[in-house]
Amino acid sequence: MKHKNFAGSLQRFVQGHVVFMAFLMALAVFCVNIILNPRSLNRNAFGSILALTSLLALSGAGQTMVVITGSGIDLSAGSIMSLTAILSVQLMNGANQHIGLCIVISVALGALLGLCNGIGVTKIKLPSMIITYAMSNVITRLQFIVTEGKPTGSAAPALSAALSYRVLGLFPAILFYCVVLSVLLFVLLRHMKYGKRLYLLGDSHSVAHYTGIANDRMVLLTYVLAGILYGVAGLIGAGYFAYVTCGMLDVYTMRSIVAVVIGGAVLTGGKGTYFGTIAGALFMVVLSNCLAVLSVRDCVQNIIMGLVIIGVLTLYNRDKSVRQ
């Protein structure tokens, strides 16, 4: 009986402190990584973790908003990032003249592709997994059509320098872009009508409808905003890595979903924060780094990530059932 009470109390504590638990798990894995490889405790390694966490968190921003709506998950995130990154490096081609144009194209293309996703979900009434998966395939093929399988060009030196520069030799500049986005999303989701309506919509579509919220319009707008965030994340990824190949950023689709889930978002909607997504992203990056230290193959890493998702869903989401 005492064992059951302890287990129940532990689970309630975890469910009530999801973000804290995500950071705690990241810290635990980081400590294991240091024990296995003491040389990983250095400025470069720590800076790389912060940079990769920031990029994953940027890609998870749109995913967080989509999940909160309760409409499902967005499987086109990574492919949108890859396409905007490829177009950006081809247009910049190692020069600084077209950075502004690349920003406009990334935002516009992301909004257009997000609009297509939103129309598929709200007007055609297709499940989000179906329409976004189909869009992902189309976008991936477009990458090869545009580049003929051989992307050319490189990011503008000014953009790469602005993203890769490290303050005090430790904190990557991309981290500060992530902080700015965090503040903006916090204000949007917690202190503006849009955010309050978004959470109400995710919690109950019928209640949201009866309170006068245009559900389809909200979902459509969210997919457009998510597309814009993916487009900007793709441009930032292009600047950070400098060179891009077809499908290079596609992996951020599943990684962003895992980060959102680990950060405490409920896949049925109505619950989740961007701060939680950042915590989930940190855990993902630290875990991936640890597995790399152990020389674990990519296929095995994917299995481990899948098991992590199952474990986290079981632990986090029993109070609001994912099975509903």
- Write down the pLDDT at residue 168: 80
Q: What are phi and psi of 212, to 5 degrees?
A: 95, 10
Residue 14's DSSP bridge partners are none
- Write down the pLDDT at residue 11: 62
Residue type, position 306, single letter: G
Query: The pTM is what?
Result: 0.89
b/e for 285-311, b at 16 or more Cβ within 10 A?
bbbbbbbebeeeeeeeeeeebeebeee
From CA 140, how far away is CA 85, in angstroms rounded? 12
- Write down the pLDDT at residue 210: 84
- Write down the pLDDT at residue 270: 85
Q: What 8-state DSSP symbol labels residue 125?
A: -
pLDDT tens, position by position, 282-319: 998 998 888 877 777 877 877 887 787 777 777 765 44
- Write down the pLDDT at residue 60: 92
pLDDT tens, position by position, 57-77: 998 999 999 999 988 899 999
- Write down the pLDDT at residue 76: 94
From CA 52, how far away is CA 174, in angstroms rounded? 9
- Write down the pLDDT at residue 323: 36
The count of other CB atoms within 10 Å of the CB of residue 242 is: 16
Residue 74's DSSP bridge partners are none
Give pLDDT < 70 ranges for the chain.
Answer: 1-16, 316-324
- Write down the pLDDT at residue 8: 61
According to DSSP H, which parts of the chain are helical? 2-16, 18-36, 43-69, 77-92, 99-122, 128-147, 157-164, 173-191, 193-203, 205-210, 215-241, 252-262, 274-293, 298-316
Question: What number of helices (H) and strands (E) belong to the chain?
Answer: 14, 2
From CA 209, how far away is CA 216, in angstroms rounded? 10
Residues in the chain: 324
Instruction: Indicate the fold that domain 19-316 takes in CATH.
Output: ABC transporter involved in vitamin B12 uptake, BtuC (1.10.3470)
Q: Report how far apart, in Å, the C-alpha atoms of 254 and of each of 78, 83, 261 are.
A: 8, 17, 11
For 208, half-sphere exposure in the C-beta direction (CA atoms, 13 angstrom radius) is 24
Q: What 8-state DSSP symbol labels residue 127?
A: -
Query: How is the chain split into domains, by residue range?
Result: 19-316
Query: Where are any strands of DSSP class E within the chain?
Result: 166-167, 171-172
Token digits for 68? Answer: 């909160």
Residue type, position 132, single letter: T
